[in-house]
Chain A
């Protein structure tokens, strides 16, 4: 939950501080890319949610009034029409999609480095996420 540095580490718990070999540098680079992706995804989602909440306030919509269901078909049109629910839903989609994007980027990074086992793990995680979508859709219909 906290973004603080546990133990007040100034160096890494996973190997920073020592001269880095090439695989180590590649690993560091991948972790930095993922860290940036997570940070950008989080801030983007919060920004969208803030816009949605401001539009809710302007439109006089209460947060306990029961929001509309998620409808991907109307999302773009609703965004263009500055409907509060569209910005909130887009923010929530970015929240939910950011961890999957992190796994996809990790998988690509590991694939590029020839780490077959981690590439398979990343693929399996994405498969489970896709299965969640399919199962939920199947139950919905």
Chain B
């Protein structure tokens, strides 16, 4: 009973933090379940995948209703995240858990440093935008070397105020995000959002919403492998997923009223402490 409440509370905390700071809860759930509750790493990743699907489903419904997510782009890229996730789900069962723990430690440090740098940026500093738009093309059919069908497909995927570019990078980024999601139990937005925004020229809010939409299929492709190979503990997953859902719902409602600078500093400290704990576990 107490363990159930602790798992529920941990899920609420992970969902709340993740929602307020724009991160998937996975980055917190896996260390929590392994370090605090003693779950084996693979089971923690399996539970985390369930949690990220739940939060993705809830948020994606809202994003699609508000027409922020780009469904065509999301579906096309998630074909590749799903392939990456399937591969990652298989690799996860072949790798030594300590290797995954080391990779996770690197991820925690990376996110902590990224967060800290964001905190140090000047308040009025411009948000890094997408790369400069393509120069106008005279006689597009002659200047654009892509075959007509592909060009037409990419044009239909583009939005009214942006045009999809460098789609090949999107494919590579999606494959990497899929593998990372399956190995570490995260949504993979850390890879997908920068690739879509900075490389492919998708506006940040659309990239974030589209990445969120893609998480569902990405995580479910590997969650199936975890489920069928006994990598998901149902009793641990249920209270955690409910908690994450509650936490994310609360976070989305109070985000505009919270001073995120202090929260971000606290989060950086938690991430670094967790990275240290995870590193010790990996090398023990």
Chain A interfacial positions (CB closer than 8 Å to B)? 1-7, 9, 12-16, 18, 27-28, 30-32, 34-36, 38-39, 41-42, 45-46, 49-50, 52-53, 56-57, 60-70, 84-85, 88-89, 91-92, 95-100, 102-103, 106, 115, 117-118, 121-122, 124-125, 128-129, 131-133, 135-137, 139-140
Contact = CB atoms under 8 A, between A and B. Distances in A.
B57 A98 contact: yes
Interface residues of B, number: 94
Contacts of B239: 53, 63
A92 B65 contact: no
Contact of B220 (A3, A27, A60, A129): A129
Contacts of A129: 82, 217, 220-221, 224
Nearest to A37: B61
Interface of B is mostly: helix
Contacts, number: 264
Nearest to B76: A121
B67 A136 contact: no
B230 to A, nearest CB: 6
Interface in B160-193: 160-161, 187, 189
B55 A68 contact: no
Nearest to B209: A6
A125 B61 contact: no
B109 interface: no
B10 to A, nearest CB: 11
A1 B206 contact: no
B68 A14 contact: yes
B57 A38 contact: yes
Interface in B3-28: 3-4, 7, 15, 18-20, 22-25
B1 A57 contact: yes
A63 B253 CA distance: 29
Contact of A67 (B58, B222, B235): B235
Contacts of B90: 135, 139
